[in-house]
Every structure is written in C-alpha cells, then in structure tokens.
Amino acid sequence: MASPPAPRPERTDLSRGWAKWRDRKARFAPLDFRKLANAAALWRGFRAADASGKSNSREALSPMQAWPMSLSVEPTTSCNLRCPECPSGLRSFTRPTGMLDPDRLSALLSGPAGLGRDLVYLNLYFQGEPYLNPGMDELVAIGKREGLYVSTSTNAHHITPERAERIIKSGIDRLIISIDGADQEAYSAYRVGGKLEKVLEATRHIMDAKKRLGRRAPHVVWQFLVVGTNEHQLPTMRQMARTWGVDEFVVKTAQLDAPRDDHPLLTQDPRLRRYDRDPSGRWVLRNPMPDRCWRMWQGAVVTWDGQVVPCCFDKDATHGMGQAEDGAAFRQIWHSDAYHAFRESVFTHRAGIDMCRNCSEGTEVWA
Ligand code: SF4
C-alpha cells in the first residue's frame, strides 16, 4: 500500500484550521461590487418568491433580475468506475456521453455577455470522472482567467506525478478526492472497480507537487461517502486523513435511489444517513420538504454538451431548460418562461417533482 508523503508529521488541528480559513477566504476573493449587488438581488428575489410562491403568485417569481453566483459544468459523463448509485457508473444515462470542449466553456464564461462577470464559483463537476477529459486543466485555466473560484471532485485514478504538477499549475482552488474506505475491501464495496492504492498514490503525488512548486492551492479535501459497508471505518479514516496531511476531511451521507431495510448501503447509525422510517414503516428522506429551493436562485448546471438543467439532482437532464451555446443564450434560458415555470412548481408543490422528493435541499448532507 502507498505510504503518506514523507517526512510529514501528523497534521495538527491548528494547521488544518488555517488551511480551511484560507480556503474560505479564497472563495470570497472573486466578489466585487457587481457580484455583491447580484448576490443581494438573488437573495431578495428568493425571499420574495418564498413569501408569495405558496399562494401561486407567478408574478412574484418573474422579476428576478439577477444571475447565478455558481455554475456547475460537466467535463464528461464518462467514468472508469461502476459505483452502484451513480448513473455514470451504471451506464444508465439516456442522454449522450461525451467530453466538454474548452471552447464551449470559454463561450459560456467569456466576452461581453459571458457569465464570468457575475459568477463567483465554478464547479467543474456534475456526472462522470472529470480527469478523463484530456482538456481538464485547460477548463480549469479558463475559469481562473475569469477570476473565479474553481473546484472539482475526482476518484483520483488518473493522477500520475506529471498530471499532479499540471493540476497544481492549472490553478484549481479546491480538489475533492473521493475516498470511501480505509482498506481495499471496504473501498471497492462502493467504488466498484476502483483501487484504494491509486487514490492514496494520487494524494501523495498532489501533496508532493504542491510542496515542490511551493503552492498552497488547491485545498485538498478527502471526501468519505459514508454507507453501510464502510461506516465502521470512520474513526480510522479520520486518523488517516491527519497522517496523510490533507487539508480537510469531510463525511458525506449517501443519496440512495430506493432505501429499504436490507439495503446494503444504508448505515446502521442514523446520524450517518439521510433517511428514516416514517410511521408506516417506509424509508423516507429525513429532512422536511418545504416548498422552496435556494439552489433555483443561486446556481445552475450545464452538461458537457451545453444543456442547462436546474440542479445537480437532474442527473439525466430530464428537466433540460435549453441549449446554451454561449453566455447570452444562457442568460435567455435563465429568464425563460420554462425556467420560471419550473421554479414556480418547486415553490408551490416541490413534492410533485420526482427528483425533488429525494433531494437534500434544506438539510445537512455532511455528517
Ligand atoms: S431537486 Fe428540486 S428541491 Fe432539490 S435542488 Fe433540485 S430543484 Fe431544488
């Protein structure tokens, strides 16, 4: 098994606290007057819709004259793994598979109508494994040229020492590495087809390259998706994260398509899952489901081939709002009748939308 970068004393809580503080500061760095005013307009629009949406007032939703603060753009739908709760892993998409072209991202973000002037956060992730896209570092660099905070999430199976250097040089601010087990058996119970050894090696390459190049970014996060097959390893994982010197360790509860008593991924510990039994014994999402959704205001998602979808729960683009070839097209779609009608339906009867019934909006997904 790969060993932690050496010599590296155990990371103290203080040094990890500083790293987190630096990362939070970096997230606010893109804010200027225009973006602050935009954020305030978004919040006012959201509050107005929340207050009046319940009475079916379409008018209260329409006048939103603001733009998303965050955007997720999908580098690819392809994936090397076969995770059981993921449509990329299950190869179950009905939409096409492909790779985001850097020119498409440039057209969205740059130029007079580009979204870069209003965005703060660019997440180069939706479905699939981003580093399968050979142009991934260029995609990051495009976001950085626009002055945005840029993040991604990876299963870290394609990070060689050379790639690690390119990743650091791309300027990415936040690198989330999925690591869902402290040994191969627990890891591959969810990350089917994956090798824990590769994830550890990739972590070492990234940490070493940061040190060699004298960079503080990216903020390296180990993300532990807690499921029934790995929950017993949580204390071991916390200790491993300290030993390996990553900047942050987070524990995420899992979204399950059909939770049930004998579901192997449902955790025993109720604090580590999103679901509970209702009085009739059915497994349901624990969080309340108010008719509101901040995500409909603050962000949107664009698939690799340019479809705008309302949020990251729309994995197969069932609620596609239109094709955004550039920033101007996106802005039209964002204020289109179809988008307003969708927002209105979330604010009047969220439970009537399939994906909204298994969505964590309004609750905590971090354990
Ligand atoms: S699934 Fe529905 S409630 Fe959840 S983020 Fe998307 S639109 Fe909002």
pLDDT tens digits, 7-48: 454 567 777 889 999 999 999 999 999 999 999 988 888 888
Going by alpha carbons, the residue nearest to atom 2 of ligand 1 is: 356
> H/E element holding 176?
strand 174-178
What's the gap in Å between 311 CA and the centre of ligand 1? 6
Distances, alpha carbon 344 to alpha carbons 61, 318, 349, 361, in Å: 7, 17, 8, 16
- Residues 157-187, buried b or exposed e (16+ Cβ, 10 A)? bbbeeebbbebbebbbbbbbbbbbbbeeebb
Which tens digit of pLDDT belongs to each residue from 279-327? Answer: 998 998 888 888 889 999 899 999 999 999 999 999 999 999 999 999 9
pLDDT at 108 over 90: yes
Residue 165 DSSP SS3: helix
- Residue ranges lining ligand 1, Cβ < 6 Å: 293, 295-296, 310-311, 313, 346, 350, 353, 355-356, 359, 361
Distance from the alpha carbon of residue 122 to the mean position of ligand 1, in angstroms: 19
Nearest atom (ligand 1) to Cα of 361: 4
Residue 249 has pLDDT above 70, yes or no: yes
CB atoms within 10 A of CB 278: 11
Give the atom of ligand 1 at the shortest distance from the alpha carbon of 355: 1
Q: Residue 219 Cα, ligand 1 centroid: separation in angstroms?
A: 27
Residues 74-89: tens digit of each pLDDT: 999 999 999 888 888 8
- Which numbered atom of ligand 1 lies nearest the CA of 311? 6
Residue 59 above 80 pLDDT? no
CA distance 365 to 367: 6
Per-residue tokens: 346 = 């979330």
> Tokens 């590296």 belong to which residue?
8
Q: Kindly report the CA angle at 290 between 263 and 225, in degrees rounded to 5?
A: 35
**Can you tell me the mean pLDDT for 89-108?**
93
263: tokens are 């579901």
**CA 52 – CA 45 distance, rounded (Å):** 11
- Tell me which H or E stretch contains 185: helix 184-190
Q: Taking residues 161-172, what's their average pLDDT?
A: 97
Task: Report the number of secondary-structure helices (H) and strands (E) in the chain.
Answer: 13, 11
Q: Whose CA is nearest to atom 8 of ligand 1?
A: 293
pLDDT of residue 366: 73
pLDDT for 60 beyond 60 = no
Average pLDDT over residues 229-250: 94
Which residue from 61, 287, 295 has its CB within 8 A of the most atoms of ligand 1, so it is best to mutate? 295
d(CA 327, CA 24): 27
pLDDT of residue 52: 75
Can you give the pLDDT at residue 365?
A: 77
Residue-averaged pLDDT of the chain? 90
Q: Please tell me the predicted confidence (pLDDT) of residue 10.
A: 56
Bridge-based pairing state of the strands 275-277 and 248-253: unpaired
Q: Give 51 or 70, the one with higher predicted confidence.
A: 70
Q: Which atom of ligand 1 is nearest to the CA of 342?
A: 7
Centre of ligand 1 to C-alpha 221, Å, is 25
Q: What's residue 362's pLDDT?
A: 72
**φ/ψ of residue 151, rounded to 5:** -135, 165
Phi-psi region of 171 (alpha: psi -120 to 50; beta: other; left: phi over 0): left
